[in-house]
Every structure is written in structure tokens, then in C-alpha cells.
Chains A and B, each alone.
Chain A
Amino acid sequence: MEIKLNGKNKKIEKNSTLKDLLPTLNPDTIVTEVNLEIIKKDKRKDFILKNGDCVEIITFMGGG
């Protein structure tokens, strides 16, 4: 199945969780959003993605 990850199409396994998408990222320094809804850190491992989900992985950067 396919989701949109940070604006790009990405093929993933069925029943993948949100946490499966983030193997190399520090879970404490990112915010995750699925279909415009914020998914808290402790819910990521149980959050099963569906075909067509729009996932955003956001972090803080320098800005004025």
C-alpha cells in the first residue's frame, strides 16, 4: 500500500505502524501528524497506517 510521507509517495508494508516509519529518528525530537491529527509519541507504536494516509514528520529548526 501507499502513503504520503512528508509530501512524497511511499510504499509501505500492510499493517505498518507509525513507529515503523521512524527507525533512525530520535523519537523525542520530532512531532508526528497523520491526516492533520497529531499522534503523540507513546501512541506511535500502536498506530497502524492505512492506504492513502498523509503522514508528516516535523522537527524544530532555526528561525526568526
Chain B
Amino acid sequence: MDILKIGDREFSSRLLTGTGKFRDKNEIKPMLKQSGSQIITIALRRVNLENPQDNILNFIPKTTTLLPNTSGARNAQEAVRIAHIARDAGCGNFVKIEVIHDALYLMPDNEETIKATKILAKDGFIVLPYISPDIVTCKKLEDVGASAVMPLGSPIGSNAGLQTKNLLEMIIQNSNLPVIIDAGIGLPSHASMAMEMGADAVLINTAIATANDPISAAIAFSLAVKAGRMAYLAKLENQSRYARASSPLTGFLNL
């Protein structure tokens, strides 16, 4: 059995999903069921006191592992605070660190993310930091106790695919932690490519949630992740500039 291990937990699915941007939150449950995704992200926000909305937790099956993100945090301290609120609210000890103050590209602050990871890992959290793809940052995160790294493929919600491919490859080939490609994956082929490269998992929110049919989209991504993973494990041969004959080059018929 091909198991993904994050912290002390084991998962059979390598597709992580998110709860943002769904037009109908009732689609989250069948989306999880049909895609097999076992980990889903959620966010924390102030209650709108004039118009309270339904808590997103009401739409997620209890068997799903919750991955609260620290979106809204602009520095390590705020991320730590949000992580503690999520854990106190009974969301378990997984946390996706997200420290962002760049409004245009939503690029994460790797330096603050390392600081927050160090504090939270010491506090017993299973920390999954969202980062700009940088191998040095990944090594530092490993040293301070991260349980996985989540480098981005392209900016959040952009659907632009693996624009950072070469940097992701460096990380995948050298990381001792699971590598989860997060952000920017817009097509099943992007997800397949990430898995073929040897990523341990992918996180997909926008592409599924904003699809005309999110449930079918989630199934498509799930199949793509499985195909890419299987291809990686099968160790396909590398590309070549020149042809490599697939039929024997001897014993031609004399015509």
C-alpha cells in the first residue's frame, strides 16, 4: 500500500482539497467522498455579527482531517495565534502556516513562516508551511520541525500550473519531508505533472471549487494524482532529443 505519512498520521489519498470559493457548500461532502480526499483546509475569520454565516465545519464529514490555515496572518506571531485558536476550537493539531503581506501575488513570507513553524512545532503542532519554492527554506523548515513543506506552483488561485517547476524539482529531489505542491494547480495535467516529478501530494482548492461541476472536477484531479503517482513509482524512462526505435533495427525483410 502506498501511504502518505504526515507527522504521526497516515493517508491513502495524495489529493488535499480546500473549502474556499464553493458556490454551494453542500458540494463539499460529495466532493470529498468522490475524490477520496482525506485532508481539507479551512480558514478562521471574525464572525460577521450583523449577518452570521454557517460554520464551514457543518459541511465537512467528521472523518476528514482538518487543516486550518493561518490566512490573514501577516507575521509569525499572528500565525501562531491563529494556530492556537484553531487547535483550541477542536480542529486537531494540523496547521497550514500561511504568512502573507503581498496583496498582488499573495506570495508567502518564507522568513516569518520559518519562525512560526519553529514555535508551533515545539508546541506540538503538525506544521505544514506554505512557501515560495526555495530549497534553502525547506532545509531550514526541516531543521525547525516542520512535518511537510508546501511550495507553490504559481500564485494562489491563478490556475497557472507549475511555473516554478525547476525550483520544485530541486526541493522534491532533496527534501526529507513530504513535499505537497500547493497553489496554482489549475488542471488535472498540472497535478499529474507534479506527481510524476515525485511530489508526495498536491493541494487543490480553486480549480475544484470554481469549476462548473466541482464534484466531477475533484474526480478528475483524483485520477490525475493517482496516474501521476503510479507513473512516478513505475520509474518511466527520461526524455531524449533523438529517437529511440521501439521496433528492432535488425532483420529487415529484403524487399
Decide if A and B are genuine partners: yes
Q: Give min CB distance, A15 to chain B, whole Å.
A: 21
Q: Are A25 and B88 closer than 8 Å at their CB atoms? A: no
* B-facing residues in A1-46 (Cβ within 8 Å): 5-7, 24-26, 29-31, 33, 36, 38, 40
Q: Which residue of chain A has the shortest Cβ distance to B57 in the bound complex?
A: A60
Mostly, the B contact residues are mixed
- A60 and B157 CA atoms in complex are apart in Å by 20
**A57-B47, A59-B47, A62-B20 are known contacts. Are A31 and B88 too (CB-CB below 8 A)?**
yes
Total chain B interface residues with beta-carbon distance under 8 A: 36
Q: Which residue of chain B has the shortest Cβ distance to A40 in the bound complex?
A: B88
* A-facing residues in B26-73 (Cβ within 8 Å): 41-47, 49, 52-53, 55-58, 68-69, 71
* Residues in B whose Cβ lies below 8 Å from that of A62: 18-22, 25, 42-43, 56, 209
Q: Give min CB distance, B40 to chain A, whole Å.
A: 10
Check if B122 is an interface residue, CB within 8 A of chain A: no
- A61 and B65 CA atoms in complex are apart in Å by 16
**A6-B49, A38-B85, A57-B49 are known contacts. Are A64 and B44 too (CB-CB below 8 A)?**
no
Q: Which residue of chain B has the shortest Cβ distance to A8 in the bound complex?
A: B49
- A5 and B20 CA atoms in complex are apart in Å by 26
* Residues in A whose Cβ lies below 8 Å from that of B49: 5-6, 57
- A56 and B18 CA atoms in complex are apart in Å by 25
- A30 and B18 CA atoms in complex are apart in Å by 20
The residue that B46 contacts in the complex, of A24, A36, A57, with Cβ under 8 A, is: A57
Q: Are B43 and A58 closer than 8 Å at their CB atoms? A: no
Q: Are A29 and B46 closer than 8 Å at their CB atoms? A: no
The residue that A7 contacts in the complex, of B19, B46, B91, with Cβ under 8 A, is: B46
**A61-B53, A64-B20 are known contacts. Are A33 and B43 too (CB-CB below 8 A)?**
no
Check if B199 is an interface residue, CB within 8 A of chain A: no
The residue that A60 contacts in the complex, of B21, B42, B156, B183, with Cβ under 8 A, is: B42
Q: Are A63 and B18 closer than 8 Å at their CB atoms? A: yes
Q: Which of A33, A57, A64 has the most CB of B within 10 A?
A: A64
Q: Which residues of B contact A (CB under 8 A)?
A: 18-22, 25, 41-47, 49, 52-53, 55-58, 68-69, 71, 81, 84-85, 88-89, 91, 156-157, 183, 203, 205-206, 209
Interface pairs (28), CB distance under 8 Å = A6-B46, A6-B47, A31-B88, A38-B84, A56-B46, A57-B46, A58-B46, A58-B47, A58-B85, A58-B89, A59-B46, A59-B52, A60-B42, A60-B57, A60-B91, A61-B43, A61-B45, A61-B56, A62-B20, A62-B21, A62-B209, A63-B69, A63-B71, A64-B20, A64-B41, A64-B156, A64-B157, A64-B203
